[in-house]
Structure 1
């Protein structure tokens, strides 16, 4: 089983859109992108539900794009696991994380079902 090139490109673009303020805080885009049962385990350890994500206040995101170590594995025909490393600056602090997302493809296109962020301590960068 392999994903078509168009799906690979679309998944990378969708994942990177979540790190751009103009799309991340576009309610219509996010409503279409997040699956009805979406949830996230954040870097902080908190659990976020779809409504938390949709209701997040807009802010500037200082993320390094393209995403580093970006990889996609097909779990089954219409389910993909996306993994990468994030680098985001908050004030004077740069935070690194390992990220994983589960995307599923339906008649509406690719939708994000699950996301997890895990901090990477400076000593293992």
Structure 2
């Protein structure tokens, strides 16, 4: 499975399956969230598990770009729009560092930065 496919899976229905998310993240995973919060692997997996029974808002991802940083390490950047019912759409610039570990791509770092949509 290629990195962009992994990223799309991590941000979409696989979020309903904490075991799948856990397998995509390194043990020392770190996230700087859109809200400004900082969390690790366990927090991300638990928060997604808690959300799985809740109604999810629509999330659209686009503009994927992949940059090789070193052998077995890549930076994936992309943008998302989360459609919030009864509220404004949330636009986010996302970046993830992926490492090739034992033949499998795993996310080591992720950051979501709020942005103003281009007009």
Structure-1-length-normalised TM-score? 0.83
1:37-48 paired onto structure 2 within 5 Å:
37-48=28-39
- CA RMSD, Structure 1 to Structure 2 (Å): 1.5
Structure 1 stretches lacking a partner, 5+ long: 1-6
Q: Is the 8 A contact 1:19 1:61 kept in 2?
A: no
Question: How far apart, in 2, do the equivalents of 1:51 and 1:61 lie?
Answer: 23
CA 1:108–1:24: 2 relative to 1, 3 Å = farther
Aligned structure 1 segments of 4 or more residues deviating by more than 2 angstroms: none
1:79 to 2:70 alignment? no
User: Using the alignment, how far apart are the partners of 2:84 and 2:39 within structure 1?
Assistant: 20
**What corresponds to 2:15 in structure 1?**
24
Unmatched segments (≥5 aa) in structure 2: none
Whether the 8 Å CA contact 2:57–2:85 is kept in 1: the answer is no
Q: How many residues align structurally?
A: 113
Q: Does the 8 A contact of 1:63 with 1:88 survive in 2?
A: yes
